């Protein structure tokens, strides 16, 4: 199994909340990987206060936060990266070889900004690795809870499920696949695709739940029992709007597999091995 790369987390300017950095530190510690803190600044020569170097001020804040996390999480490897430019471009650059990029929100209603050009939206649209969006009200839960992922018969959905399965194997937890349709009854092609993906991670339980009603309602309901929720986002606006509404309805972090994220590298499996999905548990949900 390939060892996961670093967890990259963005350090926002003061006085923004740092709750997502605590979550990122615990997440990196659970994976046993480096936490790479990334802070950006703009060198405005026309600044009113020319006696303060923006780069030095940003570096001081970055080092202080890194030292606080080292003290709070002994044994966690924490590195710092200071980048001149926009927050989104700095995070995308730092996350080029990362396992995930972790971003946060400053207010409860900030997820609405995902359609308005926020840092989170730009990072999701450009990053080559998944992005974890941590709401300010999110609390850390031990990663023994399942990863909840919405599935359908699209290629991007299969890519999202693949990343969820790989993460679940690293954390030693399960994946709860959620599929919604107008009428109960699993599509055979979808079930075959899930079986093929699950065969690469035979140690990961993948119960498939099918629901009638709206997918956001099902994901938000299941999220309360999970470690995080995994969804896919393409360049189109439909999934962006769905992501915005999901973030407004859950206190769990949301892992987003954006349009430029590659398929996870498959594990080497014995030929002919096919994972059998557990019997589907059918439930009806209210829309």
CATH number of domain containing 28: 3.40.50.620
Q: Residue 163: its pLDDT value, please?
A: 94
71 and 171 fall within a common domain:
no
The pTM (predicted TM-score) of the whole model is: 0.83
117 and 182 fall within a common domain:
no
Final residue belonging to a domain, choices 134, 165, 181? 134
Final residue belonging to a domain, choices 103, 134, 165? 134
Contact criterion met (CB below 8 Å) for 173 and 146: yes
Q: How far apart are CA 198 and CA 278, in angstroms?
A: 11
pLDDT in tens, the chain (287 residues): 454 589 999 998 776 778 899 999 999 999 999 999 999 988 765 455 556 688 888 999 999 999 999 999 999 999 999 999 899 999 999 998 899 999 986 544 343 343 334 788 889 989 999 999 998 777 788 888 999 998 887 888 889 999 999 999 989 999 999 988 755 555 677 788 888 888 889 899 988 877 777 888 889 899 999 999 999 876 555 556 677 788 888 889 999 999 999 888 644 333 333 333 343 333 333 33
202 and 119 fall within a common domain:
no
53 and 126 fall within a common domain:
yes
* 94-122 per-position pLDDT tens digit: 998 899 999 986 544 343 343 334 788 88
**Residue 110 located in a structural domain:** yes
**Residue 219 located in a structural domain:** yes
127 and 31 fall within a common domain:
yes
Q: Residue 44: its pLDDT value, please?
A: 65
177 and 110 fall within a common domain:
no
* 157-196 per-position pLDDT tens digit: 889 999 999 999 989 999 999 988 755 555 677 788 888 8
**Residue 140 located in a structural domain:** no
Contact criterion met (CB below 8 Å) for 179 and 208: yes
156 and 93 fall within a common domain:
no
112 and 178 fall within a common domain:
no
89 and 156 fall within a common domain:
no
Q: How far apart are CA 15 and CA 33, in angstroms?
A: 28
What is the extent of the structural domain holding 193?
Answer: 147-284
**Residue 1 located in a structural domain:** no
19 and 128 fall within a common domain:
yes
Contact criterion met (CB below 8 Å) for 118 and 94: no
**Residue 139 located in a structural domain:** no
227 and 280 fall within a common domain:
yes
Q: Residue 101: its pLDDT value, please?
A: 96
**Residue 41 located in a structural domain:** yes
């Amino acid at each position: 199994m390939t060892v996961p790369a670093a967890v990259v987390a963005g350090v926002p300017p003061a006085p923004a909340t740092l709750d997502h950095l605590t979550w990122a530190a615990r997440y990196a510690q659970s994976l046993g990987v480096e936490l790479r803190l990334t802070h950006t600044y703009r060198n405005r020569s026309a600044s009113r206060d020319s006696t303060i170097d923006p780069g030095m001020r940003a570096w001081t804040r970055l080092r202080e936060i890194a030292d606080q996390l080292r003290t709070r999480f002994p044994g966690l490897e924490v590195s710092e990266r200071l980048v001149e430019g926009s927050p989104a471009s700095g995070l995308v650059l730092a996350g080029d070889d990362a396992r995930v990029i972790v971003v946060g929100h400053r207010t409860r209603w900030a997820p609405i900004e995902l359609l308005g050009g926020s840092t989170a939206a730009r990072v999701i649209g450009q990053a080559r690795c998944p992005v974890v969006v941590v709401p300010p009200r999110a609390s850390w839960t031990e990663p023994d809870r399942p990863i909840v992922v919405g599935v359908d018969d699209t290629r991007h959905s299969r890519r999202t499920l693949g990343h969820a399965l790989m993460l679940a194997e690293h954390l030693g937890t399960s994946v709860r696949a959620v599929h919604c349709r107008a009428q109960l009854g699993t599509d055979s092609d979808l079930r075959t695709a899930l079986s093929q993906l699950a065969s690469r991670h035979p140690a990961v339980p993948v119960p498939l739940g099918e629901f009638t009603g709206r997918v956001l309602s099902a994901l938000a309901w299941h999220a309360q029992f999970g470690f995080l929720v995994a969804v896919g986002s393409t360049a189109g606006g439909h999934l962006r709007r769905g992501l915005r509404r999901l973030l407004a309805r859950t206190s769990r972090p949301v892992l987003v597999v954006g349009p430029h994220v590659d398929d996870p590298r498959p594990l080497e499996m014995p030929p002919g091995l096919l994972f059998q999905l557990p019997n589907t548990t059918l439930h009806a949900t209210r829309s």
